[in-house]
Structure 1
Amino acid sequence: MFEYDPVLYSRILTTLTLAFHVIFATLGVGIPLMIAIAEWMGIKRNDPHYTLMARRWARGFIVTVAVGVVTGTAIVLQLSLLWPNFMRAAGHTIGLPMFMETFAFFFEAIFLGIYLYTWDRFKSKMKHFLLVIPIVIGATASAFFITTVNSFMNAPQGFEIVDGVLTNVSPLAAMFNPATPTKISHVIITCYLTAAFILGAIAALNILKGKNHVYHKKALHLTMVTGAIFAIGTAVIGDLSGKYLHEYQPEKLAAAEWHFETESEAPLILGGILTEDNEVRFALEIPYALSILAGGSTDTVVTGLNDFPADELPPLWIHYMFDLMVFIGMYLALVSMIFVFFNWKKNWNAFSRPLLWAVFAGGPLSMLAIQSGWFFAEVGRQPWILNGIMTVSEAATTSQHVDIMLLVFIILYTVLGITCVVVLRRMFKNNSVEHELEERGIVHHSKQEAN
């Protein structure tokens, strides 16, 4: 007979909500920057193609913002309903960044409305461009503040514990904890990277369908150049994140790499299968790489899983989440840099079908990397909801109706997801690039190359 477990259902529902929300949150942070870059390019080069990119991307962005608001509200609701003990203990500690995240969103939303309404209403295009800057700032600030909450959960500080309650709270000390620099940097730049590849995948797909208008080629060139820059930045921050884990969450790093024995000159384990005897088979080992990742030297001693209490270890399948995130990051960097190089070499075809398919694949893969990264970040902290202080089971509700909530939210997210896809498809299918360009009197040059 199946035994009802409110903790399990709470975890499933929270996972479902976060996994669905992170799609729209990622686009919500990254796309405003891409809009700003496109509009700036249109002004700088006096090129209506880039200006049209900004217009079209902004229209699609509105739809994702609407869905993101609903899912974001659901997260706040579920924090109180599913994790009441956590909110009771730490709610006033994380209250400031959560309030600031809401303020940042309203700041962004206000300027987004003004930005959309004022297209073609200024004689100076630069004045309209200035309106997108607060949108970028608001979107990025929103990610900044909400990520400090997650950073606090990984490296809690800035309080005292009295009778199980966090008191004498210093909100700024709680927000700016050791996890904050790498966590925030990684989240923000991967949002930029993912947005670039999602938009690049759309452009690549249009070209693959035979739409060879220079607009699509310029869109692809813009997204891949920015994608290459963000991919390099992601790799640098990923290295710093490994060093943070080594110092503050060594058990998470050890679990990610299936590293059992404490030693220096530790190898990096990629892929493989873990046996019941904790032997790693069929894996690719990179000698000394884990020690270098952890401390920048082959002599760095990396603590193994055997040195931690068994009941405080995260599930070891997070190794695959870590590998997936890293592999996809390397793939995105390689594809974007190949495209940029081919486009720079005028005699090389950057728009060949194999490379276009590789770019297109990068779109969904980039979102998969975001999802695997969050799974690694959250599951890698288990069994703690507040690292070293409160476990997930201690924080969860004891309600007997979480399973009903789960069913309701599954239906809600299904409806939202289908509606979002249908609206976006109709929005752009019924108003093609070629049609808009013709309406605005922009000449079609199908053989012109993107600059």
Structure 2
Amino acid sequence: GVGVPLMIALAEWMGIRKNDEHYRLLARRWARGFVVTVAVGVVTGTAIGLQLNLLWPNFMQLAGQTISLPLFMEVFAFFFEAIFLGIYLYTWDRFKSKFRHFLLVIPVVIGASFSAFFITTVNAFMNAPQGFEMVNGVITDINPIAAMFNPATPTKTAHVIITCYLTSAFVLGMIGAVKMLKGDRHVYHKKALRLTMTAAFIFSIGTVIIGDFSGKYLAEYQPEKLAAAEWHFETEENAPLVVGGLLSENGEVNYALEIPYALSILAHGDPTAEVTGLDQFAEEDTAPLFVHYLFDSMVIIGMYLAFVSFLYLAFSWKKKNWMHHKLLLWGIVAGGPLSVLAIEFGWVFAEIGRQPWILYEIMRTPEGATTSEHVDTMLYMFIGLYALLGISSSIVLRKMFKDNPVAQELEQRGIEERRDQS
């Protein structure tokens, strides 16, 4: 839901700039699907609030006093987005100037992105808590602005938002690729692929740049997290980057790909720099070592997405029809679920990599958790809720677009329908 409004805005802008109704229809259809995800977001957002208070009461009692501002701002941003989304949807074809209608999607983009920004600052606070003083176990001198704009906020929020943009581009591109693999080579789907893959490549470059800044943040503020992610056991200069591998019982790394100097460059921008290893920390203060695989998976998928989108653009630039070859289309299709998986890997790494802390160096995870005996009941309830939402939203989306296919809507709106077999 964070990146789709931006893709809608880009599609409508392209339609206006090129006077191309195919792009405007893309924006119209994507917006309809987006409404369903917003409706689901209302329920899941409420559920998350319940989960925080029911499952992590001690954490919320401590942190809630300090970091409540962005939680309220996130709700405001969400309603700001939802209100303008409704206006945007119900004013199609009601303005003589198409540009005026386009202006209505801008608040939707802003609301979605700021909603992600505000809620991510809460997670950033968990990694770099500040804006308060602890006196005899009591919070005093609370500064909510300082708490929200902590050292982790710039890299954390930027990384989350840009990867959401990237994921949205690939998921929407996947739809066009699936249609083309099924034999529907309409120019509508080709334009959808061109737009989404161009955006995906730009966002993938942004992800790489911000990922580099994130590595340097970890090296300075959470070196034990970086060391666990990279299986960097001993503090040393000229540190290599470990990719993959298996960890033996005596702590040796086997079958891994080592890239010389790369970890020193990632951590400090200097191939000869010293990188702090796990030997500088007590074992009980470091994360489980399986986070290495989460980190590697996230990075490898990101590289795959960048490669696929680059390949598509390279073939487009060369005016070759290879960009619509089945292998590349299947690569784009795979990129849809993989991009979602990369976000999940990233969030699991962010949370597990911070262990044993729920509030870094202030509150350990067991201290923040509930002592209720009914956690299993709540688990089943939330699983049931998310399963119901997933199934119902899938049914609604499928029916919405199956009952009104692209070809039918193109004909209804008088848009020239052109097909080719390239």
Aligned amino acid, residue 410 of structure 1:
I
1:222 alignment partner in structure 2:
195
Whole-Å Cα distance in 2 between the matches of residues 336 and 202 of structure 1?
A: 15
2:50 alignment partner in structure 1:
77
1:242 to 209, 212, 215: 215
Whole-Å Cα distance in 2 between the matches of residues 343 and 165 of structure 1?
A: 61
1:126 to 73, 83, 99: 99
Aligned amino acid, residue 392 of structure 1:
T
Secondary structure of the 1:385 match is strand
The answer on whether the counterparts of 1:90 and 1:165 sit within 8 Å (CA) in structure 2 is no
The answer on whether the counterparts of 2:185 and 2:421 sit within 8 Å (CA) in structure 1 is no
| CA displacement 1:151-197 (0-9 Å, x = unmatched) | 11000111100232322111111111111110011000000000000
1:45 alignment partner in structure 2:
18
Q: What is the number of equivalent residue pairs in this alignment?
A: 422
2:242 alignment partner in structure 1:
269
The answer on whether the counterparts of 1:275 and 1:281 sit within 8 Å (CA) in structure 2 is yes
The answer on whether the counterparts of 2:239 and 2:263 sit within 8 Å (CA) in structure 1 is yes
Alignment of 1:346-361 (within 5 A): 346-361=319-334
Matched, 1:87 2:55: no
| CA displacement 1:98-148 (0-9 Å, x = unmatched) | 000111111111101100111111111111000000000000000111111
Whole-Å Cα distance in 2 between the matches of residues 165 and 234 of structure 1?
A: 39
2:294 to 303, 311, 321: 321
Secondary structure of the 2:319 match is coil
Q: Which runs of 4+ in 1 moved over 4 A?
A: none
Matched, 1:406 2:379: yes
2:412 alignment partner in structure 1:
439
The answer on whether the counterparts of 1:89 and 1:164 sit within 8 Å (CA) in structure 2 is no
Whole-Å Cα distance in 1 between the matches of residues 374 and 391 of structure 2?
A: 26
Alignment of 1:238-387 (within 5 A): 238-387=211-360
Aligned amino acid, residue 161 of structure 2:
I
Whole-Å Cα distance in 1 between the matches of residues 277 and 153 of structure 2?
A: 25
The answer on whether the counterparts of 2:240 and 2:261 sit within 8 Å (CA) in structure 1 is yes
| CA displacement 1:290-325 (0-9 Å, x = unmatched) | 000000011211111111011111111000000000
Whole-Å Cα distance in 1 between the matches of residues 88 and 417 of structure 2?
A: 27
1:87 offset after TM fit, Å?
Answer: 1.1
The answer on whether the counterparts of 1:263 and 1:302 sit within 8 Å (CA) in structure 2 is yes
2:170 to 197, 215, 224: 197
1:420 alignment partner in structure 2:
393
Whole-Å Cα distance in 2 between the matches of residues 136 and 305 of structure 1?
A: 42
Structure 1, unaligned runs of 5 or more: 1-27
1:233 to 182, 201, 206: 206
| CA displacement 1:412-431 (0-9 Å, x = unmatched) | 11111111111111111111
1:448 offset after TM fit, Å?
Answer: 8.7
Q: RMSD over aligned Cα, in angstroms? A: 0.9
Percent identity of paired positions between Structure 1 and Structure 2: 69
1:442 offset after TM fit, Å?
Answer: 1.2
Matched, 1:33 2:17: no
Structure 2, unaligned runs of 5 or more: none
The answer on whether the counterparts of 1:189 and 1:230 sit within 8 Å (CA) in structure 2 is yes
The answer on whether the counterparts of 2:2 and 2:112 sit within 8 Å (CA) in structure 1 is yes
1:330 offset after TM fit, Å?
Answer: 0.2
The answer on whether the counterparts of 1:111 and 1:135 sit within 8 Å (CA) in structure 2 is yes
Q: Relative contact order (alpha carbons < 8 A, sep ≥ 6): 1 or 2 greater?
A: 1
Whole-Å Cα distance in 2 between the matches of residues 284 and 260 of structure 1?
A: 16
The answer on whether the counterparts of 1:159 and 1:168 sit within 8 Å (CA) in structure 2 is yes
2:370 alignment partner in structure 1:
397
The answer on whether the counterparts of 1:88 and 1:165 sit within 8 Å (CA) in structure 2 is no
Whole-Å Cα distance in 2 between the matches of residues 448 and 37 of structure 1?
A: 27
1:67 alignment partner in structure 2:
40
1:114 alignment partner in structure 2:
87
Whole-Å Cα distance in 2 between the matches of residues 221 and 448 of structure 1?
A: 17
Whole-Å Cα distance in 1 between the matches of residues 5 and 328 of structure 2?
A: 26
Aligned amino acid, residue 102 of structure 1:
V
The answer on whether the counterparts of 1:267 and 1:285 sit within 8 Å (CA) in structure 2 is yes
| CA displacement 1:62-83 (0-9 Å, x = unmatched) | 1111111111111111111111
TM-score where L is the length of structure 2: 0.99
Aligned amino acid, residue 367 of structure 2:
E
Higher mean C-alpha displacement, 78-87 vs 256-265: 78-87
